[in-house]
A and B are shown apart, each in its own frame.
Chain A
Amino acid sequence: MAIKLELVNLRKEYGALVAVNDMSLKVEEGETMALLGPSGCGKSTTLNMIVGLETPTSGDILIDGQSVSKIPVGRRNVGLVFQDYAVFTHMTVRGNMEYGLKVRKVGQREINQQVEKMASFVGLADKLHRKPAELSASEMQRVAIGRTLVTSPQILLLDEPLSNLESEMRHQMRRELHRIQLETKQTIIYVTHDQIEALSLAHRIAVMNLGVLQQYDTSYNVYHYPRSTFVGSFLGNPPMNFIKGTLKSAGGQRLIEQDGARIPLPSMKELAGVSDGAAVTVGIRAETADIVPLGSPGSFEAELFAIEPQGPEAVVTAKFANTLLKVVVPTSAVPKGSGSIALLPHANLLALFDTQSGVRLMNGAAS
């Protein structure tokens, strides 16, 4: 697949504040990429630079291999759907949808055709004459999407498109976006702080924090192989468990020790270059540890702390040394009573991080 969008060392400073710190990534044509991060992490600034509403301090933006840095906003042939929809409330739905085409000086007959096609695509065919004040929030959202899509942008950018909707509408709109994604084969960049939205809609996720790109990979990899403790904690509900400890060896096996309590580590190539005594953090996703009989090989013990049943599964909280761990297990596997339980992490999904930097250990060194 061709590369649709490329960011090259993109940087934005506001005075002393570095909002986006030398960010580089590539988005393939037809792909949906989610920019995920907490508020203030620089994702909206990145979006605004891509569309041209903000000027980068340095770095470059390429669309189809061509730099668009010098092209003013509105001429880049990218479409942005705003978080607050930014529907023109003084115009009808039709007025909103044809606006972009009118500015582009498309003929009225062509405009009517396109607008009607788009209106039925986003399910507003019978509401073209309405004023935005008469529409529901999700219909406003459809107007905003339809208005943008009708100009057939190279890239469709969505800024927190679901955050203003109620829970029920949010599910419906997510399905709707999924359909649009499938039917238009549009390259989509999706800004969100909601990991569920990112995981369910995006092919690739760029996780940002404090202006720095933390990880850019497929949704699967970002979730299962977080590159840093930040990514591990930002994705997943409950978030990844982190156990800080010291790396040791006993009887030919590496282990992590925290206040005398030990977690045996499976043989991992990441451990090759790390010597005993190093401060290491173990990361275990809540659903990647099983409750096993006490004394099972590879398992470690923890004190049962709380059980929260959630229908088919339950969140079991257990205390290991000074750390509370949460694991999600099928309801049938919930331990009875209290006392010690044994937890066995899935060896291939266990993550090790350098405690100091929070960066994942890979092939023997912090990368």
Chain B
Amino acid sequence: MPPKRFTWYNGIGLTLALIFALFPVLWMISTSFKPSNEWVRQPPVWVSGDATVENYLTVLWPSALLEKRGGLTQYTEGGEQKVAEQTGVGGAVGDILNKSAWQAIWGSVILSVFGTALSIIVGLMAAISIARYRFGGNTTPFFILSGRMFPPIAIAIPFVVMFSDVGATDTYWGLILAYGAVTVPFSTWMLKSFIDDLPKEIEEAAMMDGMSRWGAHLRITLPLIKGGVIATTLFIFILNWSEFLFALILAYTKVSTIPVQLSKYFSATEGLLIGVQAALATVSIVPLVIVGFFIQKHLVRGLTLGAIKR
């Protein structure tokens, strides 16, 4: 297609699309800086005139907040009240404020990084053997995908049973295995599509030059589908980063993740900690935005790789 001139109606269309897509994100960021009395006010507060970093402190550095306040704070819709200075408040509120979100952030990082690595390594090998050696005929690729055809909860329950039996619940290695297993169908199929687009002669040519099969796959196939691997990695990473169900039911106290932590700020007894949730959610998108920015080029190439005809 020939390049088109950028016209004013393109501009309007793009702006509308951007507002539609980005409004929830902007609202989240705005809310994360609001004091508690502005979280759900009518009419809505667009940008707080009384911006505060307390939500972030609650998430990242609760001890500083405690020090500043000289005690725990009960959030209510009407504003904030200081409560029980010496003893600390028992129950959920105390838990939240006594324990920062760092455990959850750390958990998310560990599980997403290693879960994604596992998924990509297994997926890549599966994709090569399916695409190049027709491993398992026509049925294996289908069965690999079939795990994603049920509601996740249907798979989660057997996971709980199996994991309890082998003592894998509430451990990093257990959840890494689970994260890898749940995302492998996607990585296999995405990577397979990139390998399918690459003529197999290119590997045979390398083998003609004296490379081994493994060598040809590592030195020739892999660099040529680099964009696809990067796009797949980011995709799987986002899936793992936002995974909620498995972390909720397979982890209890030693392991936690950001989505699980977010859910803990949301409970009837302590009211809706919307601002705190927004703060943690904002923190959680930062790494994705940074990584996405740097690999933008590969991402676009990866997503359009299938469209480039050889």
Shortest Cβ distance from A76 into B: residue: B208
Quick one: which of B180-211 are within 8 Å of A by CB?
Answer: 199, 201-202, 204-211
Q: Is the interface of A mostly helix, strand, loop or mixed?
A: loop
Which interface class (under 10, 10 to 19, 20 to 34, 35 or more) fits A? 20 to 34
Instruction: Report B196-254 residues with CB < 8 Å from chain A CB.
Output: 199, 201-202, 204-211, 220, 223-224, 226
Query: Is the CB of B5 closer than 8 A to any CB of chain A?
Result: no
User: Using Cβ atoms and an 8 Å threshold, which residues of chain B touch A88?
Assistant: 202, 205-206, 220, 224
| A75 at interface, CB cutoff 8 A | yes
B-contacting residues, A103-121, CB 8 Å: 103-104
Asked if B68 is an interface residue, CB under 8 A from chain A, the answer is no
A100 to B207, CA, bound (A): 10
- Shortest C-beta distance, B260 to chain A (Å), equals 41
* Given A84-B199, A86-B199, A86-B202: A104 and B208 interface contact (C-beta under 8 Å): no
Q: When A and B form their complex, what is the total count of cross-chain residue pairs whose Cβ atoms lie within 8 Å?
A: 54
Contact B211 A74 (CB under 8 A): yes
What is the 8 Å Cβ interface bit string for chain B, positions 72-96, against chain A (1 contact, 0 not)? 0000000000000000000000000
Q: Which residues on the A side are within 8 Å of B220 (C-beta)?
A: 88
Measured in the bound complex, the distance between the Cα atoms of B208 and A95 in whole Å is 16
B41 within 8 A of A: no
B207 in complex: contacting residue of A74, A148, A151, CB < 8 Å = A74
The interface residues of chain A lying within 8 Å CB-to-CB of B209 are 74, 99-100, 103-104, 151
Residues in chain B near residue A74, CB distance under 8 A: 207-211
Q: Which of A66-94 contact B (CB under 8 A)?
A: 73-75, 78-80, 82-84, 86-90
Residues of A within 8 A of B (CB): 51, 53, 73-75, 78-80, 82-84, 86-90, 99-100, 103-104, 147-148, 151
B interface list, Cβ under 8 A from A:
199, 201-202, 204-211, 220, 223-224, 226, 310
13 contacts between A and B (CB under 8 A): A51-B208, A53-B204, A74-B207, A74-B211, A78-B208, A79-B208, A82-B201, A86-B202, A88-B206, A90-B223, A90-B224, A100-B208, A103-B210
Task: Please give 6 more A-B residue pairs, beta carbons under 8 A apart, in addition to A53-B207, A88-B224.
Answer: A74-B208, A74-B210, A84-B201, A88-B206, A90-B223, A104-B209
